[in-house]
A and B are shown apart, each in its own frame.
Chain A
Amino acid sequence: MNYDPRSWAVHKDSKHPFDAPAPLVDNGSARPDPSRYTSPAFAEAEWEKVFTQTWLFAGPSSDVRESGDWMRFDIGVESFIIVRTDDGALAAHYNVCPHRGSRLVMDDVGSQGSFSCPFHSWKFDLDGSNLAVTDPETFRPEVLCHDIDLSSVRVEEEAGLVFISMTDDVPPLKDHLGTILPMLETYEIDKMHVVQHRRSDWAANWKGGIDAFYESYHLHAIHPQTMGMLDDRTHIDLYENGMSRQFVPFGQPNSHFPDQEGINPGIAVMLEDAGLDAAAFQGTAYESRSAIAMAKRDRAAKLGLDYNKFSDAQLTDATIFGIFPNAQIGCHPEAVFLHRFKPHGDDPNQFTYETTIMYRHIDVPGYGAPLWMGLGDDVDLTGATRPDVVHTGLGVPPGMGEVLDQDSDLLPIVQAGALSRGFRGPLWGEQEARLRHFHVHLDKWMADAS
């Protein structure tokens, strides 16, 4: 394998501008101290200097399409309500009653005209202003002179994704996302809806989650069953603000897979999924990727879908975007995977992995969500019903499919090692360039005195 991953021929002879590599970023070769994964003081500083100071991906726009629609977004010790107000704008409030602090909503999503606190039934408008104090005559006027509205935070949406910031003093979300925003926009996530939503508590630091999902170097060891059809020769791009991109070629065997020629069962599934007859396919396994791209283009032309905006790689591969600090989006023309790695409120050795599949429903035969997403037959793909969030606790098998369950088994083992005084800090290869980029950016925030 070549030292410079940008020389890997992921895009072969692609001239498509989407595939163009980003300018080189040199993040050095340092070995950071492992306390970042375990120290409560580091976690506390991270919360104050990073999470409370930047844009955080809160949820998809599809969950708050109509006025009165709201979604709850929990992270660390905080909980927020993001709601579409009567004027069509979004508002975001701390999920906290100003009276005694009670949470206002406990459901994940909902739709209503106002919020009512479960403790003493104070009422608030969608925009957070106080509508009713129960028994106001039993309050001394000076008490109600303290602000009695909900506390609100910044909220903006781009590319079908809603972000909040606990600090008012942040640049516009557009600027924060920067270079990757127009790339995300090609997927029209605003026209997708949630078809699966899972949340699972894992015994690892949230950055252990980021690290694992930001590289495909571990595929051969942890997910050997993917080696027949998922290549670890990837294309990595590093962007401003800690953002990154990676193409993970699908429909093409892994560099460590001995048979690069034969049509293995994984490749056959990929071919069938694109509408090709695997039994009749004449090419090698290594050629199936371009066959899939071509088949998808043909299908799009028949269905009247505009796939010209997509490069071939976008049609076949997982095109993955890392959004600083804690989100990752795996993009496909038909659907996107939203991953979030949410720090625990108190314990740096725990995080919540949250994964949402968003699908764009097109009502024509032969079009569906990619098979390998593993959506059950019971899933309503039309978007008519928003599925409930399925939550699994610490140590409970998350039931997210073989690959993610393997990750959930492994991450606590990595965390346990990171806790050791014998661990001298991570050593990152260039296949792990996105990890280093993320950590270097994190360190920049941590060094900031403000």
Chain B
Amino acid sequence: MKFDFNLWDIHIGTPHPFNDRAPVIDNGTARPTGARYHDKAFAAAEWEKVFARSWLVACPVSDVREPGDFAKFDIGPESFIIVHGDDGQIHAHYNVCPHRGSQIVQADTGSVGKFTCPFHSWQFSLEGENLAVTDPETFRPEVLCHDHNMTSVRCEVAAGLVFISMDPHIEPLKQWLAPVLEHLELYEIDKMNVVQHRQSDWGSNWKGGVDAFAEIYHLHAVHPQTQCLMDDRTQIDLYPGGISRQFVPFAQPSRRYDDQESVNPGIAMMLQDAGIDPASYNGTAHETRAAVQQAKRERSEKYGLGYEKFSDTQLSDSTVYGLFPNAQIGCHPEAVFLHRFVPHATDPNQFTYDTCILYRHIDAPGYCAPAWMGLGNEIDLTGRTRPDIVHTGLGEPPGLGEVLDQDSDLLPIVQAGARSRGFRGPLWSEQEARLRHFHVELDKRMAQGDDA
């Protein structure tokens, strides 16, 4: 393995500008202290300086397609309502009644004509304007002179995702997202629908989640069953603003896997998924990735799926984007994995892992969500029904499939060690360059004065 990832070429097939490397960013070699993972004061500062001043992925556009559609977005101590207004715009409000503070909606998603507070039935328009104060004559006029609309926050849409920011002065979303915006737009996430949505509470700091999902160095140790079909030779790109990208080659054994030739069951599944019969396949395991790319292209040509815009790598691999601070999107032409690492309201030793699969339904023979996504047969892939969010509490097996369950078992173990006075801070390799990039951006934000 090469220390400099620029010496590594993981791409096969036709050269494509999408695969071009980002200019090198040198994030140094420092070892930060472990306090960032467990210190309460650090977590409090992080909330004020990072979360309250960033763009945060709130929900996919598909959850708020029509006027009246809303989605609740909870993070840390806050809850927001994202709603498609009667004015055709997407709005975001604190999920807080201006009267006594009660939360207004409790459902994860829904569709309403207006909002009604459950406490005293005050009513608000989708845009957050007060429609009715119950018994207004019992308020002194001076009381109702105080603003009694909902409190709204910045809300912008890009690449099929709705972002919110608690910072009214934040730069436009598309300006911050610019380095990868065109990449993400290729996947037309706005045409996808949620087919699975899970939330699981884990005994770890949210950055422990970001860290684990931003590197594949741990695959051989934590997920050995993936070694036969997923390579850990990877390309990492770092962009300004803490944003990053990584290609994880699928349908190709890891270099740590002994047998690079035989078509193992994992490789067979990948072949089958691309419409190739593994029994009659003549290539080696290592050649499968190219075969998968080829087969997907042929399928696209046959059914007009429009894959011309994708590089070969994008067809076979997981193309993963890290969006600062707490989101990661694993992109495939058929579907995307949206992961969010949601900090706990008060405890730096807990976070909620939120994972959402968005699928683009195309009614063509052989076309479906990748088998390795593990979507059950009972799932409606057409997008007509929005599945409920399944929530599992701390210590419960999340039931997210073998790989994610392994991560959920491990993260509390890492957190327990990171809290120790014997831990002198993380040592990041270049395989973990995205982690360092994330933490360096975090530190930059944390170093800003309170007046920044």
Contacts and interface: CB of A to CB of B under 8 A. Distances in A.
Contact of A140 (B2, B211, B220, B430): B430
Interface in B194-227: 211, 217-218, 220-222
A323 B419 CA distance: 27
B399 interface: no
Contacts of A423: none
Given A79-B416, A119-B218, A135-B1, A146 B424 contact: yes
Contacts of A143: 29, 31, 427-429
Contacts of B410: 102, 118-119
Contact of A139 (B349, B415, B429): B429
B417 A101 contact: yes
Interface string A116-158: 0111110000000000001101111011111110110100000
B418 interface: yes
A94 B422 CA distance: 6
Contacts of B349: 346
B413 A100 contact: no
B427 A137 contact: no
A356 to B, nearest CB: 23
B37 A146 contact: no
Nearest to A346: B349
B165 to A, nearest CB: 30
B420 interface: yes
Contact of B420 (A79, A142, A145): A79
Interface in B108-153: none
B431 interface: yes
A34 interface: no
Contacts of B425: 146
Contacts of A146: 31, 424-425, 427
Contact of B421 (A95, A118, A138, A166): A166
Contact of A101 (B3, B423, B430): B423
A103 B416 CA distance: 7
B428 A101 contact: no
A99 B425 CA distance: 8
Contacts of B430: 138-140
B221 A99 contact: no
B34 interface: yes
Nearest to B37: A101
Given A138-B1, A140-B3, A78 B422 contact: yes
Given A98-B427, A118-B410, A138-B429, A52 B222 contact: no
Contacts of B222: 118-119
A119 B430 CA distance: 16
A137 B233 CA distance: 13
Given A93-B422, A140-B3, A142-B29, A121 B221 contact: yes
B414 interface: yes
Contacts of A101: 34, 37, 414-415, 417-418, 420, 423, 426
Contacts of B420: 77-79, 94-96, 101
A135 to B, nearest CB: 5
Interface residues of B, number: 34
A153 B422 CA distance: 9
A97 B419 CA distance: 12
B424 A147 contact: yes
A146 B426 CA distance: 10
Nearest to B349: A346
Given A94-B423, A166-B421, A138 B431 contact: yes
A5 B207 CA distance: 57
Contacts of B37: 101
A145 B423 CA distance: 16
Interface in B214-259: 217-218, 220-222
Contact of B418 (A100, A150, A153, A166): A100
Interface residue tally of chain A, by bracket?
A: 35 or more
A119 B414 contact: yes
- Majority SS at the chain A contact face: loop
Interface in A47-76: 52
Interface in B1-51: 1-3, 29, 31, 34, 37
A106 interface: yes
A119 B422 contact: no
B401 to A, nearest CB: 19
Which of A103, A117, A138 gathers most chain B CB within 10 Å? A138
Nearest to B211: A100
Nearest to B3: A137
Contacts of A138: 1-3, 217, 429-431
Contacts of A78: 420-422
A154 B438 CA distance: 36
Contact of B413 (A106, A137, A144, A151): A106
B422 A96 contact: yes
A101 B422 CA distance: 9
Interface string A79-119: 10000000000000111111111110010000000000111
A350 to B, nearest CB: 15
Nearest to B431: A138
Chain A CB within 10 Å — which of B29, B34, B416, B428 has the most?
B416
Contacts of B217: 120, 134-135, 138
B135 to A, nearest CB: 40
A26 B217 CA distance: 61
Contacts of A93: 422
B51 to A, nearest CB: 23
B39 to A, nearest CB: 12
Contacts of A139: 3, 427, 429-430
Nearest to A143: B29
Contacts of B429: 135, 138-140, 143
B417 A102 contact: yes
A25 to B, nearest CB: 33
Question: Most A CB atoms within 10 A — which of B2, B37, B217, B415?
Answer: B217
Nearest to B255: A135
Interface string A318-332: 000000000000000
B423 A96 contact: yes
Given A118-B413, A119-B221, A151-B424, 14 more contacts: A77-B419, A98-B424, A99-B426, A103-B413, A118-B410, A119-B222, A135-B431, A137-B3, A138-B2, A138-B431, A140-B3, A143-B31, A143-B427, A146-B424
Lowest 5 A-B CB distances belong to which pairs? Answer: A94-B422, A101-B418, A142-B29, A151-B422, A101-B417
Interface of B: 1-3, 29, 31, 34, 37, 211, 217-218, 220-222, 349, 410, 413-431
5 contacts: A98-B427, A118-B410, A121-B220, A135-B217, A153-B422
